[in-house]
Chain A
Amino acid sequence: MPRLSLKRLWAMARKEALHIGRDKRSLAMAFAVPAAMVLLFGYVITFDINDIPTAVLDQSQTSQSRNLVDAFRSSGYFRITRQLASDAEISPLLTRGAVRMVLVIPPDFAKHLAAAEPAPVQCLVDGGDANTASIAINYAQAIVTSYSATAVLKGRALPVPVQVESRVWYNEDLKSSNMIVPGLMATIMMILSALLTSLTIAREWERGTMEQLAATPVHRLEVIFGKLLPYLGIGFVDIVLVAVVGGVVFAVPFRGSALFLVVTAMLFLVGAQGLGMFISAAAKSQFLATQLAMLATMLPSLLLSGLIFDLASMPTALQLISLAVPARYFVVVLRGIFLKGVGLRVLWGQALGMLVFAAAGLTLAVRAFRKEIA
């Protein structure tokens, strides 16, 4: 076995860089994909729900019922798009999705209120989109509670027994871009490794250049590291790109240490690219490699990383699986650095997890590659 030589490694890296450089579209995509993802996710994803289209069936037609409807309208959460005349109109509207909520105020509404009795009001929600529906219900409850307190009980002093004082930390305005943009780095790195690295060895197999590579005196470590270097460079530029776009366009705060970010990002990058190369070496065909890369890297890093969906609310089995998803640790680290401004003292566990991932990714790539060349 030849001794490792930095020169050969460098030559390998240059060859791979040339390959990438010639493939103008892939190169452009390597930078366009991250930028597009940040902009898309940052702008399109919002969890604020306003202007829920709502229909009202007011059978009471009194000043009290009109006040209640006004309270809904002026809240900003609901947009009263229709006044209905009969029950029969409700079902087709909800089925077509023309409105998401129907408020039914029964004829004896004002009478009940005057008699200081509970006055039932029906609220029909399109529960299809459970998330929007539960938020809408929450808003409706809040509006009705305050309506009861001000309009109905006025004249009688009913002190508010408990006040809730909420304070939000780290992301004071609950902006969704603050949540998404830092975490997105992890997903982007994973996707790049799927898009770029996972094909690099499979391509050589399919084109028959692998035999040529095997015939040269190059060591397998030199091949792996040589192929890795240019992609690490691209990944690094992408991290800077995302951080700059996040800071400039979305005003995402950066409260932690840039050095810590670079170190953890490089660890993660090495692991992700290693994994991509392992897939590439193991699959040998580009079609299989793309499929495996999608399954093994993209989906988990988007869904099981806590980027968008809360891991703590998932079934236990899925939470256990997510322990093996490296993006999960990186997302916590990224949010910690950007939003919380915490460092190694708090995040050492995650950092350790990523170190293990980097080592595992490299080992896998080198091992899978050895079998073929020997």
Chain B
Amino acid sequence: MKFGGLDWGRLLELMRKELRQTRRDPQALRLVLAAPIIQLIVFGYAVNTDIRRAAVILFDRDHTTVSRELGQTLAASGYFRIAETAERAQDLVESLDHGRAILGVEIPRGFEGDLAAGTPATVQVLVDGTMSNTATVAQAYASQIILKFGQAHSPVAQALGRAGAPGVDLRVRSWYNPNLESRVYNVPGVMGSVMMLMSLLLTSLAVVRERELGTLEQLMVSPLTPAELILGKTVPVVGIALVDLTLIASVAILWFGIPMRGSFVLLFFASLVYIVCGLGIGLLISTVSATTQEAFMTMFMFFLPAMIFSGFFFPIANMPTVFQFVSLLDPIRYYLATVRGIFLKGAGLTVLWPQLAALAVMGGLILWLASTRFRKTSV
């Protein structure tokens, strides 16, 4: 059974050996299938940048119907909940120091009277800036709610009646994700990270383990050619990664209700190219590592920056320009754009071809580099 310079019988035998080895280690097998799902579910819920019911301490120095109404308006927005009320200014400090509230709202004495008289009243908002992202959003929401409240209660607005205030009326419509849930954006992103992690780990550790145990030398002296050896090691990984893909895509669609607007075939194809990239990098790592620990650390040194630069947590467009250029070398970046495009926008090849082309070029280069190095270090 020889074709294309490969002995397919031998290749098949090697793959069977790999599969048998995996089967004999049921714990590892379970982990390989369960880990992506656990990661997807935890990530899917945890990677959430919306604020919901943030704790507020209210210092109401006015004690009138209107001031109480302002407190209720804040709570009714859903963004905040009044966790505490302060009696003295010191209470605000205590509460923020202890982290019991992240926002302090102080309504001044005479608030109702000022509002009725049309004299500007000043509401103080104290923000705990330690979580700067949450703080920014909370501050913006709070100011907006308070300003709107003031406008609705001012005599001028009430005189204008129900016709609506003159001026620009901004009507916002959000495409692809009408309720602006961060999950819809993040869950497809998790798929990219989980698949990369799987293909890296499986390839690099499988090879390094054989090296560490000395069985790689046995394989070397067998009549297997290097190409057969590489294929035998990587094809089972592709299989496992594709099973993982099917699993996590099902969880994303069925459990998280992420809309799938594009083509499954394209998703499958793009993932295949991406997996090849991942296992090429894994193979490359295995050629520079003698022990599992080294492989694990090297993998980590690649994976962590790759995640950060991919635009998974933080939009690439917000990064400093230098880092935006660095991110062009990151395969995860292209895959995330592809997956998000397919899921959320229903984008097809006409839109996504630059991403796919970049992935394919990278995959080819990495695989070529990895197999050349593999031959040199191993044979």
Interface residues of chain A, those whose CB is within 8 Å of chain B, are: 23, 25-26, 29, 32-33, 36-37, 40-41, 43-53, 68, 94-97, 113, 116-135, 137-138, 140-142, 144-145, 147-149, 152-153, 158-172, 174-176, 178-179, 191, 195-196, 199, 203, 206, 285-288, 290-292, 294-295, 299-300, 303-304, 306, 308-310, 312-315, 317-318, 332, 335-336, 339-340, 342, 346
Total residues of chain B contacting the partner, CB 8 A: 117
**CB–CB A37/B351 < 8 A:** no
**How does the 8 Å CB contact mask read for B20-55 relative to A, with 1 for contact and 0 for none?**
000001011001100100110011011111111111
- With contact pairs A29-B297, A179-B131, A286-B293 given, residues A134 and B42 touching in the complex (Cβ less than 8 Å): no
Interface stretch (choices B10-18, B162-170, B216-224, B361-369): B162-170
**CB–CB B166/A153 < 8 A:** yes
Q: B196 at interface (Cβ–Cβ under 8 A)?
A: no
Q: Which of A130, A191, A340 has the most CB of B within 10 A?
A: A130
Contacts of B255 in A (CB 8 A): none
Q: B175 at interface (Cβ–Cβ under 8 A)?
A: yes
A-B pairs with beta carbons under 8 Å apart, 29 shown: A40-B305, A49-B315, A50-B318, A95-B345, A113-B168, A120-B171, A127-B184, A128-B344, A130-B182, A138-B140, A145-B147, A158-B156, A161-B150, A161-B153, A161-B154, A162-B150, A163-B121, A164-B125, A165-B122, A169-B127, A171-B132, A287-B25, A287-B28, A291-B35, A295-B39, A303-B46, A309-B48, A310-B131, A310-B134
A51 to B341, CA, bound (A): 22
B158 to chain A, nearest CB (A): 10
A196 to B143, CA, bound (A): 47
- With contact pairs A128-B185, A169-B126, A340-B130 given, residues A134 and B154 touching in the complex (Cβ less than 8 Å): no
The total of interchain contacts (Cβ-Cβ below 8 angstroms) comes to 356
- Interface on chain A toward B: helix, strand, loop, or mixed SS? helix
Across the two chains, which residue of chain B brings its CB closest to A283?
Answer: B27
**CB–CB B172/A129 < 8 A:** no
Q: B123 at interface (Cβ–Cβ under 8 A)?
A: yes
A286 to chain B, nearest CB (A): 4
Contacts of A47 in B (CB 8 A): 132-133, 136, 314, 318
A293 to chain B, nearest CB (A): 9
**CB–CB B169/A118 < 8 A:** yes
**CB–CB B136/A342 < 8 A:** no
- With contact pairs A287-B209, A313-B50 given, residues A49 and B318 touching in the complex (Cβ less than 8 Å): yes
B149 to chain A, nearest CB (A): 7
A33 to B185, CA, bound (A): 29
A133 to B175, CA, bound (A): 10
A170 to B292, CA, bound (A): 43
Q: B265 at interface (Cβ–Cβ under 8 A)?
A: no
**CB–CB B301/A36 < 8 A:** yes
**CB–CB A203/B123 < 8 A:** no
